[in-house]
Amino acid sequence: MTYSVDLRSKILAIKERDNLTYKETADYFGVSINSLVRWHNKLEPQKTRNKPATKINMDALLEDVRNYPDAYLRERAGRLNASVSGISDALKRLGISCKKTF
């Protein structure tokens, strides 16, 4: 759960005003000590994504799955010029499992 920047700053202000330790503040407000330290270091929450979207062509991946249903991820990655983890993530987004059904 993400707390608002306003709430974060108020909690840190109370910690400073009352000279509370991180543990005392965490116990009082019901948040973790690690969260308080993170907020102290960087008040703004991290943005969602810091990299470009996938370069894998989903239509080409679906065609590859139809043509080579028993292929390994590394074989698909070689044919589609992508990483193994990228192929795995793309298959998950398409709802395709690597498990065989007999």
Examine the pLDDT at 1 and tell me if it is beyond 70.
Answer: no
HSE-up of residue 35 (Cα within 13 Å, Cβ side): 18
% residues pLDDT > 90 (the chain): 64
Tell me the mean pLDDT in the region 6-10.
92
DSSP 10-56: HHHHHHHHTT--HHHHHHHHT--HHHHHHHHH--SPPPS--SPPP--
Q: Kindly list the domain boundaries of the chain, sorted by start residue.
A: 5-41, 58-94
pLDDT by residue (tens digit) across 48-67? Answer: 766 666 788 999 999 999 99
pLDDT by residue (tens digit) across 68-95? Answer: 988 999 999 999 999 999 999 999 988 8
State whether residue 4 is helix, strand or coil: coil
Instruction: Supply 89's token pair.
Output: 């993530």
